[in-house]
Amino acid sequence: MRYLHFGSHWIQGAMRLARPWALELDYTREMMAALLLRPDTEWPKSALLIGLGAASLTKFLHRHRPETKLTVVEIDADVVHVARQYFKLPEENERLRLHIDDGASFIATTQQRFDLILVDGFDENARTGMLDTLPFYLNCKARLSSSGLLVTNLLSKRKGVKKSMERLEEAFEGRAIAFPSCDSGNVVAFAATGNSITHSLAELKTLAKQLKAATDLNLQPTISRLEQANRCPAGKLQL
């Protein structure tokens, strides 16, 4: 295993040398539950990733969603260099574009629309800056397509996520849900635009089996935690 740190004890990314495209950290796997909520295998057609880290999410989508156009925004050029040298970040091409920019500034000015926006941006002290504010979430909503989904990593061990969820729910008019906290303390939150999302727990379990067969990503533990935490009233996840 190889780990990425920004000069502190906080782990910013991880890679198994024998399987560089696999998702090793719990919260990165949970962020890919987006593929259960929007199970069309041709979705997402476009994805924006804010925060590169060890490029885990980028590599996973690059490998398993070959038709997806990926846009990655990373504020620190050194992180991009490290990801290329030590974490097997793929080279830029027509499928993958990298921008050295502030994520909040990028989303406020871009005219692109995305099916999926993944937000995983922290500094060396696990601070998110503008990436956990109402204006940022409103800008994300404005840049999502009619089948849009925002997924954001919230770190509950540093602070509670109640205020974050209040901002997310306000921006998305209530269409937001926080999954139960991972063992690492990360809480992954989802917010949707456009077409409604409704899946029974049985459907989610079937979709998880199909996703595991296709990508080797096991999200059955995530579904079990959702069920145990009563996050699916009447046995359904609705967003």
Q: How far is CA 194 from the centre of its chain?
A: 18
**Other Cβ atoms closer than 10 A to 158:** 14
Residues annotated as catalytic are: 120
Enumerate domains of the chain plus CATH numbers.
2-196 (3.40.50.150)
Long-range contacts of 167-175 (CB under 8 A, 24+ apart): 167/132, 167/133, 167/134, 167/137, 168/137, 170/134, 170/137, 171/134, 171/137, 171/138, 171/140, 171/141, 172/137, 172/141, 175/239
Closest-CA residue to 172 (of 197, 153, 191, 190): 191
Average pLDDT, whole number, for the chain?
92
The answer to pTM > 0.75 is: yes
What's the pLDDT band for 174 if we cut at 50, 70, 90?
A: very high
Token digits of residue 21: 């495209």
Q: What are 116-155's pLDDT values in tens digits? A: 999 997 765 566 778 999 999 999 999 999 999 999 998 7
* pLDDT band for position 157 (cuts 50, 70, 90): low
How confident is the model over 52-96, as pLDDT tens digits?
999 999 999 999 999 999 999 999 999 999 999 999 999 999 999
